Amino acid sequence: MPTLLLDKNAIQSLLKMSDVINVVEEAFRAWAEGRANMPPKAYLLVEHGDFRAMPATLPGCAGVKWVNSHPLNASHSLPTVMAVLIYNDPETGYPLAIMDGTLITAYRTGATTAVASKYLARQDSRTLGIVGTGCQAYTQILAHAELFELTSINAFDVSTAATDKLIRSLPGYPIRKCSLEDALSSDIVCTLTPCRSPIVKREWIVAGTHINAIGADAAGKEELEPSILKDALVVVDDVRQASLGGEINVPVTKGLFTVNEIYATLAEVLVGKKKGRIDDNVITIFDSTGVAIEDLAVAKLIFDKAQEIGSYPVIDLV
């Protein structure tokens, strides 16, 4: 039995954000209903970054993503995040495909936070704030534009060159360069920085704002002042991951926020175990650490499409 090989160009040609949003939302539903299995991601720390192993199963498929985070990679002309995904037959364990997971990671992260915004942001949300205009900003914009009629995308980065590049790369989207405070005054805010001390102040967040806190994805990272968490309805993708490496990890370690103060998981909201937005004035936060079911759901989508087309290279790996 051959193993399908899908490089970054193949992944690019097979990905469509609307499809990714649909399969990611369904994956969280499957998880909530006990139809998925996902142990915690394992971290391997090295001098200039870290690696993460992320296994999962969903109905009819299994797999693992091996992904890194190396913040200094720009000096090597490499992305900060790169990934490889192995997609297996759950019945036999056979590796059905090996695929580039870098773009999958970006797309599934954008899709997941857009799904969170769908349930947690105000229904009349029209403005999107982007704090940090690196690679992840692109898919956040693509995903949110699928679900919301955005009239303004307010982008801030300490690097004006990065913001200019974002604007040039997404022609036709209403992106404007602005201050940090202006970006945070948006209806929906996505924080996408590698900060290890808060850059988002409580006084800048107005009633009714929804925040997707995405940048904090490892122990010690933190973008929001802890007082924002105390005043908000906090939803996480995974309680354990969030408490160890998500936006809440530093406040939890310092005793400024507790796991018991988490309102719900995203999966609980999607299946109706917990209500999403409860009124137009509450501040909502989605603590996104990234979970393996997101990757596997997109890998299945990609594999199925590639099988239909049938023109991609294969190897006899086993």
Q: What residues are annotated to the active site?
A: 65
Gap between the Cα atoms of 23 and 42, Å rounded: 24
Run of H or E including 220: none
Q: Any idea what the Cα angle at residue 248 is, between residues 246 and 253, rounded to 5°?
A: 110
For tokens 């949300």, the residue is 125
User: What residue spans of 88-134 are helical by DSSP H?
Assistant: 102-120
Sheet holding 188-191, edge to edge: 175-177, 152-156, 127-131, 188-191, 210-213, 283-287, 232-236, 264-265
Run of H or E including 4: strand 3-6
Gap between the Cα atoms of 44 and 308, Å rounded: 36
Beta bridge partners of 37: 57
As a whole number of Å, the end-to-end CA separation of the chain is 8
